[in-house]
Amino acid sequence: MAFSSHSIKSDHSPSEADETTALLAVSETDPFISANEEVIAPETHPNEVGLDDDEDKPLPIAQIFLLCYARIVEPIAFFSIFPFVNKMIWETGGLDEADVGFYSGLIESLFSLTQMVLMISWGYAADRLGRKPVLVFSLAGVAVATALFGLSKTIWQMILFRCLAGIFAGSIVTIRAMISEKSTQKTQARAFSLFAFTGNLGIFLGPLLGGALADPARQYPRVFGESHFFKEFPYALPTFVCGAIGLSAAVTSWLFIKETLEPKSANESSENPPMSIRQLATSPGVLVVLLLYGYIMLLAFAYTAGLTSTVIPVFYFTDIELGGYGFTPLQISLFMALGGISQAVWLLLIFPPLQHRFGTGGVLRGCAVVWPIFFFAAAAGNLFLRQDWTLAFWIVAPISMVIGSGVAMAFTAIQLALNDIAPSPSTLGKLNGLALTLSSGLRAITPVAFASIFAAGVRMQILNGYLVWLVMIILALALIPPLRWLPEKAEGRLKRDESL
């Protein structure tokens, strides 16, 4: 994160590092130190910088595990309705089948849209009221709203409960800030690789639970066939189970997670009033990193991170002559599983040492170079199939999927850059809220936009169906030049003390 492993030794307020403060100085009287170990905009009087062993402090695995468990709730809540929402709308809304798609897209997007509107407010609350109470409250809220969705008997009830789930989906802001504060400059890469992995696990588990548990009276008649409740509410079981996961995360967070935000005295609060959004956005380097964050999320939701609802599953399904791979459902599942496993390996095993060796900026630049090649390889796979080069396809396509999945490291790397550019510890929640507001807005519109580009290219055979890949390659190439302006403070390079 943005805070140095060096503690600040105050003449009047000595302190020791503990697991709640990671890279920042332990008390609020300590100044804020950048990843490059230069003092910037200290919140109190400047003090002499001294070395201690904070940077070598081990990662608090139990606390990180609990936070990662809380992290899994939001993607499960978001994606769990995807397998059954169309049928649920058709059965409860009395609509023509042709109108189902509109309401399905509306309901799926409302979660992200309401989340976007309130994300900054959640970040502000986390900075002012404390991380833990905001985390527990938001987890409990999204759990209840998700469970109630399955009891909807009209489309407007579905819309209401989906909006409520989005309103309470502010836990991710708090979790990001807490993981930052529980890790050090040396351990943050591993901590956030676990954070990213559990997010992907939630994306996988959400649709799996939704599809496996929907309409249990029909799917599992021996167990639920006599249940009048599940016949009356066929989609209650998956939403109840997903809600129970959220509620269990709220309980474990309340009981076991330790607060990481040190309370301020009234005197300190008056001396250091909270930064406004304008002040935060115009702080040195913040706007550049936010724009890079948004651009990387655009690429993520267009292809890599939005596997459930955007280009790639449609591309795999589309006929070869129209520009796709013509895969069977089993082949689609296997290829997407290969991508998911590959991402997990890159994030958990490869990203931490790479980030330690080359820094955050080095990882981002490497991903930016690989991204357009990855997209080109996907389109080239269709060309191989059109030419009946089947053996070449089954050699190249899996290899490109395994290697190309490494671009997922960019999502974790840009989060580290965001942490490092924070002006002070007390702005972490608000800065993450600002970034996630941008991310939620992109998640609401990007899948529809890129799926539409893909559909138009296939339907009109623009560039033989390769239009979407041309657009994505151009967007990926356009990421390379702006990375030259990544602020030095966000480069994430560890400075090695020559005296050590």
Per-residue pLDDT of 42-91, as tens digits, reads: 343 333 333 344 566 888 999 999 999 999 999 899 888 888 888 888 88
For residues 346 and 496, the model is more confident at 346
pLDDT of 487? 94
Residue 261 has pLDDT above 60, yes or no: yes
pLDDT score for 19: 36
Q: Which of 197, 183, 235 is nearest to 213 (CA)?
A: 235
Determine the average pLDDT of the residues in 84-112: 77
For residue 391, what pLDDT band results from cuts at 50, 70 and 90? very high
Token pair in block for residue 406 = 């490494």
Per-residue confidence (pLDDT) for residue 270, from 0 to 100: 52
Place of tokens 């939620």: 440
pLDDT digits (tens, 9 = 90+) for 143-155: 999 999 999 999 9
Does position 115 have pLDDT exceeding 90, yes or no?
Answer: no
Model pLDDT, residue 10: 39
Q: What percent of the chain has pLDDT over 70?
A: 83
The pTM for the full model equals 0.73
Q: Are 457 and 468 in contact (CB under 8 A)?
A: yes
Counting Cα atoms < 13 Å in the Cβ hemisphere of 131 gives: 28
Helix (H) / strand (E) element for 475: namely helix 467-477
Could you give the 3-state DSSP secondary structure of residue 80? coil
Asked whether the beta carbons of 258 and 20 are under 8 A apart, the reply is: yes
Q: What is the model's pLDDT at position 37?
A: 37
Give the H or E element holding residue 50: strand 49-50
Q: Is the pLDDT of residue 268 over 80?
A: no
What's the pLDDT at 310?
Answer: 54
Which of 169-178, 224-233, 245-254, 304-313 bottoms out in mean pLDDT, i.e. has the lowest? 304-313
More confident residue, 32 or 60: 60
* Higher-pLDDT residue of 389, 24: 389
Q: Is residue 1 over pLDDT 60? A: no
SS3 289: helix
Mean pLDDT value of segment 484-492: 91
Asked if residue 129 lies in contact with residue 161, where contact means CB atoms within 8 angstroms, the answer is no
User: How would you class 144 by CB atoms within 10 Å of its CB: exposed for 0-12, middle for 13-18, buried for 19 or more?
Assistant: middle
The arithmetic mean of pLDDT across residues 2-23, rounded, is 38
**Cβ–Cβ under 8 Å, residues 4 and 34:** yes
Looking at residue 459, its pLDDT comes to: 83
In sequence order, the β-bridge partners of residue 322 are none
Mean pLDDT of the chain: 81
* pLDDT surpasses 60 at 15: no
The token duo for 418 is: 């965001």
| pLDDT attached to residue 55 | 62
State residue 444's pLDDT score. Answer: 74
pLDDT of residue 98: 63
290 membership: H or E segment, kind and range: helix 286-299
Residues above pLDDT 90, as percent of the chain: 41
pLDDT-derived band at 188, boundaries 50, 70, 90: confident
> SS3 of 39, please?
strand
**pLDDT over threshold 60, residue 297:** yes
Indicate the range of 3-12, 150-159, 233-242, 350-359 predicted with least confidence: 3-12
